[in-house]
């Protein structure tokens, strides 16, 4: 079993001093500060040329054996949808104004959080939610790292001017655990856990360096005992000497391996309210950080899905992106006494049910009836 004293700053430095080469990432636009930059417009065009799989392979290479960090510029081609989602977030924040907001990294008053912004925004404005989460680039990057049937959660983080920097850390799963808990998992399990999520953030405003974009230590995800190292003074000092930051434009997104050492930066601007929709994407094989009621979301957005689908506004990738995000796309866990597989090994998923409803153009009442039956037969 691994112990704290086996940590080696020397090994860590050796890993973090690597330098990425552009020729190893031929589909990228450029590499800046060891962060690999892609152009969303180019990615969208590649779908029609069946190059998608090559992008998936390259993205996964960055996350695993590269620096661990990718920026997709123009992640949203239509920036208006960001503004409309900002209006939805503002409405949610207003409703939650008096709630004691708990944040594990910042002192009160320096930032605002919307936990489970994913479900809250779906219930607040189905139309905006559908337009936002039908983004095919979301499914591209999620599938590249997690494979199909991934799960989406989101948390909004808004940092006001003078908002302080976070301490460096790794993210969920084991980044949220104390060292004693980390040690209760064998090293191979710690290493495996970083394969279960992908951390992302969509810039909801322009984020120049002075507003404190996230500080990253490229390659640090490769340090195997890293879940035990990030609280150690010498590792923290090295992080503060060696981190990189990159500015983002509204509608750009950044994605990173959850084991990359990182920390929200200090907002040194006078008037920029830094606003990011944090996307935490989870493998179908793991427990996400937040409970999301996907039955509730599916029912709430179905009428809009049906409308958009009938108008022919979903291409194959957009439809897959919105359905994977908003419906449970995995068959398990279920109740195998009641939820029998039909002609295959796996019972029908909520995503498959929703797809059937759209193909057969079910009315809302029929969809609701079938969704309720689906929910009932999966309960224990």
Q: Footprint of Fe ion on this chain (CB under 5 A)?
A: 171
Nearer to Fe ion, 47 or 105 (CB): 105
We find the least distance from the C-beta atom of residue 159 to Fe ion, in angstroms, to be 13
We find the least distance from the C-beta atom of residue 223 to Fe ion, in angstroms, to be 17
3-state secondary structure (DSSP) of residue 281: strand
Strands 274-282 and 151-159 turn out to be antiparallel
4-7 long-range contacts (CB < 8 A, ≥24 apart) are: 4/179, 4/228, 4/232, 6/225, 7/225, 7/228, 7/229, 7/232, 7/235
Nearer to Fe ion, 171 or 328 (CB): 171
For 114, residues 6+ apart whose C-beta sits below 8 A from its C-beta are 89, 92, 93, 96, 120, 155, 156
Nearer to Fe ion, 114 or 358 (CB): 114
Residue with tokens 């994977």: 324
Nearer to Fe ion, 171 or 266 (CB): 171
The alpha carbon torsion through 55, 76, 327, 192 (nearest 10 deg) reads 40
Q: Is the peptide bond before 173 cis (omega within 30 degrees of 0)?
A: yes
Nearer to Fe ion, 227 or 367 (CB): 227
Nearer to Fe ion, 66 or 258 (CB): 258
Nearer to Fe ion, 52 or 170 (CB): 170
DSSP 12: H
Q: How far is CA 294 from the centre of its chain?
A: 17
We find the least distance from the C-beta atom of residue 258 to Fe ion, in angstroms, to be 8
Nearer to Fe ion, 254 or 292 (CB): 254
We find the least distance from the C-beta atom of residue 169 to Fe ion, in angstroms, to be 6
* C-alpha–C-alpha distance, residues 47 and 367, integer Å: 31
We find the least distance from the C-beta atom of residue 105 to Fe ion, in angstroms, to be 7
We find the least distance from the C-beta atom of residue 328 to Fe ion, in angstroms, to be 26
User: Cβ-closest residue to Fe ion?
Assistant: 171
* C-alpha–C-alpha distance, residues 29 and 91, integer Å: 37
We find the least distance from the C-beta atom of residue 347 to Fe ion, in angstroms, to be 35
Nearer to Fe ion, 104 or 311 (CB): 104
CA torsion through residues 298, 300, 303, 308, sign: negative
What six digits make up the tokens of 49?
């040329």
We find the least distance from the C-beta atom of residue 266 to Fe ion, in angstroms, to be 15
Is residue 44 classed exposed, middle or buried when 0-12, 13-18 and 19+ CB atoms within 10 A define those classes? middle
What six digits make up the tokens of 341?
């597989």
In 3D space, the residue among 113, 217, 229, 218 whose CA is nearest the CA of residue 175 turns out to be: 229
We find the least distance from the C-beta atom of residue 262 to Fe ion, in angstroms, to be 6
For 370, residues 6+ apart whose C-beta sits below 8 A from its C-beta are 353, 357, 362
CA torsion through residues 74, 243, 117, 363, sign: positive
């Amino acid at each position: 079993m691994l112990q704290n004293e086996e940590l080696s700053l020397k090994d860590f430095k050796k890993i973090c001093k690597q330098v990425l080469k552009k020729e190893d990432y031929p589909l990228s636009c450029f590499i800046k500060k060891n962060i690999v930059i892609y152009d969303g417009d180019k990615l969208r065009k590649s779908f029609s040329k069946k190059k998608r799989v090559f992008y998936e392979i390259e993205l996964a290479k960055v996350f695993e054996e590269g620096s661990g960090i990718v920026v997709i510029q123009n992640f949203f081609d239509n920036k208006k949808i960001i503004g409309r989602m900002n209006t939805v977030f503002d409405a949610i924040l207003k409703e939650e104004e008096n709630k004691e907001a708990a944040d594990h990294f910042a002192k009160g008053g320096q930032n605002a959080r919307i936990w489970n912004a994913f479900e809250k925004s779906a219930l607040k404005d189905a139309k905006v939610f559908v337009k936002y989460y039908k983004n095919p680039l979301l499914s591209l990057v999620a599938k590249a790292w997690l494979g199909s049937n991934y799960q989406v959660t989101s948390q909004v983080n808004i940092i006001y001017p003078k908002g302080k920097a976070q301490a460096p850390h790794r993210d969920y799963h084991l980044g949220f655990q104390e060292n004693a808990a980390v040690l209760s998992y064998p090293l191979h399990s710690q290493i495996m856990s970083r394969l279960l999520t992908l951390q992302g953030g969509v810039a909801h405003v322009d984020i120049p360096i002075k507003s404190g974009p996230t500080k990253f230590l490229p390659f640090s995800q490769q340090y195997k005992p890293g879940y035990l190292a990030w609280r150690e003074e010498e590792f923290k000092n090295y992080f503060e000497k060696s981190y990189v930051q990159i500015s983002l434009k509204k509608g750009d997104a950044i994605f990173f391996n959850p084991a990359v050492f990182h920390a929200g930066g200090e907002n040194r601007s006078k008037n920029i309210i830094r606003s990011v929709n944090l996307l935490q994407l989870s493998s179908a094989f793991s427990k996400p950080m937040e409970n999301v009621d996907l039955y509730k979301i599916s029912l709430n957005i179905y009428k809009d899905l049906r409308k958009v689908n009938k108008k022919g506004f979903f291409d194959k990738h957009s439809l897959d992106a919105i359905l994977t995000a908003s419906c449970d796309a995995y068959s398990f866990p279920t109740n195998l006494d009641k939820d029998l597989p039909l002609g295959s090994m796996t019972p029908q998923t909520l995503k498959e049910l929703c797809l059937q409803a759209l193909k057969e153009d079910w009315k809302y009442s029929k969809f609701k009836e079938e969704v309720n039956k689906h929910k009932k037969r999966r309960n224990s």
